Amino acid sequence: MQFSLKRAHLSAASCIIGLVLFASCSEETSTPAPTPTPSLYDRVGGITMVSDPSNPATMIEKGRLTLRSVVDSSILVIAADPKMAKYFPVLFAELGAGNTTGLSRLSKNFTDFMCLATGSKTYTYSGLDMKAAHDPAKNSRIPMKITAADFDAFVGNIGVGLAKNGVTAANNAQLVNDLVALLNTTKADIVQQ
């Protein structure tokens, strides 16, 4: 009796060990958690802090720095494009008079918008929504509604702005395509004629 009790204990113990081993084995063989797909914001630099070349002694997320640089380069390309001039008389008149307030606000708002749209969790956008921003009835800074052809030309100008910052179809076609696709998601709201 004593002998069989011992055996019963032993076999119960080996069952438990077996179950534990089985459980741990099955854990090891289960599918590993998928690596999260990097957001577009991550792909343009993400949250790594770098020093801000425009503001001495200030740090900035690398993702925001890339997007701000692309926005600022693109604004210059847009300003030099004769097809765009008719949309920006307010901004250009201010600049002609040496007033850069509107330019700084546009740069900040456009950069905030791009940060948020690409997946930044740090920045927020407090400007007008895309429909209102491009509707002369809601935004006195734009005198006319935008055509589909001019929207495409504007996105082309942002492509030039990207290239000026080292992102080209030749060296990063996927990133260019994904950013252009993101911009094109705003087309239905922005083209209003």
Binding site for ligand HEM (CB under 6 A): 84, 87-88, 90-91, 102, 105-106, 109-110, 113, 127-128, 133-134, 141-142, 146, 150-151, 154-155, 183, 186, 190
Nearest distance from residue 78's CB to ligand HEM, in Å? 8
Question: In angstroms, what is the minimal distance from the CB of 128 to ligand HEM?
Answer: 4
- State which residue, 61 or 150, has the beta carbon closest to ligand HEM: 150
Distance in angstroms (rounded) separating the CA atoms of residues 104 and 82? 22
How distant, in Å, are the alpha carbons of 49, 75, 112, 145 from that of 161? Answer: 23, 8, 17, 23
Q: In this complex, which beta carbon is closest to ligand HEM, that of residue 54 or of residue 99? A: 99
- Residue nearest to ligand HEM according to CB distances in the complex: 127
CB closer to ligand HEM, 65 vs 84: 84
DSSP string across 78-147: HHT-TTTGGG-HHHHHHHHTT--HHHHHHHHHHHHHHHHHHT-SS----S--HHHHT-TTT-TT--SPBP
Q: Are strands 49-51 and 59-61 parallel, antiparallel or unpaired?
A: antiparallel
For ligand HEM, which is the closer residue by CB, 60 or 67? 67
| Angle made by CA atoms 70, 167, 85, in degrees to the nearest 5 | 40
Overall residue count recorded for the chain in this entry: 193
**Residue 168: CB minimum distance to ligand HEM, A:** 19
Nearest Cα residue to 103 out of 116, 94, 113, 114: 94
Identify the three-state secondary structure at position 168.
Answer: coil
Q: How far is the CB of 152 from ligand HEM (least distance, A)?
A: 8
Q: Which is nearer to ligand HEM, 45 or 102 (CB)?
A: 102
Q: How far is the CB of 59 from ligand HEM (least distance, A)?
A: 24
Comparison of 24 and 99: residue with beta carbon closer to ligand HEM: 99
Cα–Cα distance, 59 to 52 (Å, whole number): 5
